[in-house]
């Protein structure tokens, strides 16, 4: 039986790949409470293809430059929402942000999202965010006996809340909100979006309960309609519109 061999790439192909790389400076806000109570900026200069993503650059820095760099990531395809961070001053998913779209001729700044306690480098404490999510009861609530078949719903009824089903709980919207920055007790856009998803679901029977939860001093009325949340959402959800619809439902009790 013949032995399998692995063909080495031609020298020309390797040179071609290298020729597409550019030198980029990543300015990352570092924080390690075991070393210092203060955060500081650190520059990393790397050669990378501009068509790569910021997440690829962070991997390269961690694997080749500084193994202590700490950040969250999982699927790397814009679905899990775990790698939300501030890139050049805007909330984005690192796995969906191409380097070429960030003016790589200048230093690219990367820091943790705002409004949540930074634990280390680019990692924040997500517990307050998820507690607000849990508080709005983000699950279908019905009464009576368990049905023997699926709960039917028309296409029109589904369309009523279709947009808010896209939330991936990345916290990009909530951590872009000035109200949330100043008062962490505010439920925040993501929690309201997930309440909206069930308030307007024709199969659900707990809309009134969720509205009462949000009809609070830290609830939906704290929104100042700055549209930061809509701009920050990597899934394109019309967050501000959803918040306005919840406000309208509270006023009219029609949903």
Find the CATH number of the domain harbouring 161: 1.10.1060.10
Residue 111 and residue 198 in one domain:
no
Residue 137 lies in a domain: yes
Residue 173 lies in a domain: yes
Residue 134 and residue 238 in one domain:
yes
Residue 36 lies in a domain: yes
Residue 6 lies in a domain: no
- Residue 40 is predicted with a pLDDT of 97
- Residue 60 is predicted with a pLDDT of 98
Residue 119 and residue 214 in one domain:
no
- Residue 120 is predicted with a pLDDT of 98
State the first-to-last Cα distance of the chain, in angstroms, to the nearest integer.
71
Q: How far apart are CA 21 and CA 28, in angstroms?
A: 20
Residue 99 and residue 163 in one domain:
no
Cβ burial of 58 (10 Å; 0-12, 13-18, 19+) is buried
**What pTM does this model have?**
0.88
Residue 115 lies in a domain: yes
- Residue 42 is predicted with a pLDDT of 98
Residue 51 and residue 95 in one domain:
yes
Residue 234 and residue 177 in one domain:
yes
Q: How far apart are CA 251 and CA 67, in angstroms?
A: 53
Range of the domain at 231: 127-142+157-252
Residue 2 lies in a domain: no
- Residue 184 is predicted with a pLDDT of 79
Q: Are 110 and 172 in contact (CB under 8 A)?
A: no
Q: How far apart are CA 242 and CA 180, in angstroms?
A: 17
Residue 173 and residue 238 in one domain:
yes
* Nearest partner of 27 among 99, 95, 111, judged by Cα: 111
Backbone angles phi, psi at 130, to 5 degrees: -70, -25
Residue 212 lies in a domain: yes
- Residue 5 is predicted with a pLDDT of 55
Residue 9 lies in a domain: no
Q: Are 49 and 20 in contact (CB under 8 A)?
A: yes
In the sheet that 22-30 helps form, which strands lie side by side, from edge to edge?
40-48, 22-30, 108-111, 84-87, 90-93
Q: How far apart are CA 162 and CA 104, in angstroms?
A: 36
Residue 89 and residue 136 in one domain:
no
In this structure, how many other beta carbons lie within 10 angstroms of the beta carbon of residue 117? 12
* Average pLDDT along the chain, 255 residues, taken 10 residues at a time: 55 64 98 96 98 98 98 96 97 98 97 98 97 97 89 94 98 97 92 98 96 95 96 97 97 78
Give the relative orientation of helices 239-252 and 207-214 as an angle to the nearest 10 degrees: 100
Query: How many structural domains are present in the chain?
Result: 2
């Amino acid at each position: 039986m013949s032995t399998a061999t692995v063909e080495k790439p031609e020298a020309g192909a390797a040179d071609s790949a290298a020729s597409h790389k550019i030198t980029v400076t990543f300015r990352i806000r570092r924080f390690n409470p075991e070393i210092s109570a203060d955060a500081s900026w650190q520059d990393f200069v790397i050669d990378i293809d501009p068509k790569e993503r910021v997440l690829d650059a962070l991997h390269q820095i961690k694997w080749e430059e500084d193994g202590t760099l700490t950040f969250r990531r999982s699927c790397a395809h814009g679905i899990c929402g775990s790698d939300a961070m501030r890139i050049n001053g805007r909330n984005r998913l690192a796995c969906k942000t191409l380097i070429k779209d960030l003016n790589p001729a200048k230093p690219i700044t990367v820091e943790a999202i705002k409004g949540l306690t930074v634990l280390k480098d680019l990692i924040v404490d997500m517990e307050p965010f998820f507690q607000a999510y849990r508080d709005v009861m983000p699950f279908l609530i019905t009464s009576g006996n368990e049905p023997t078949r699926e709960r039917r719903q028309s296409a029109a009824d589904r369309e009523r809340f279709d947009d808010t089903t896209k939330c991936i709980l990345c916290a990009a919207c909530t951590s872009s909100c000035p109200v949330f920055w100043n008062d962490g007790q505010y439920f925040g856009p993501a929690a309201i979006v997930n309440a909206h998803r069930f308030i307007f679901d024709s199969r659900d029977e707990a809309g009134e309960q969720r509205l009462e939860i949000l009809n609070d001093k830290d609830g939906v009325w704290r929104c100042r309609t700055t549209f930061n949340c809509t701009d920050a959402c990597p899934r394109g959800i019309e967050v501000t519109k959803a918040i306005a619809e919840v406000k309208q439902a509270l006023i009219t009790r029609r949903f």
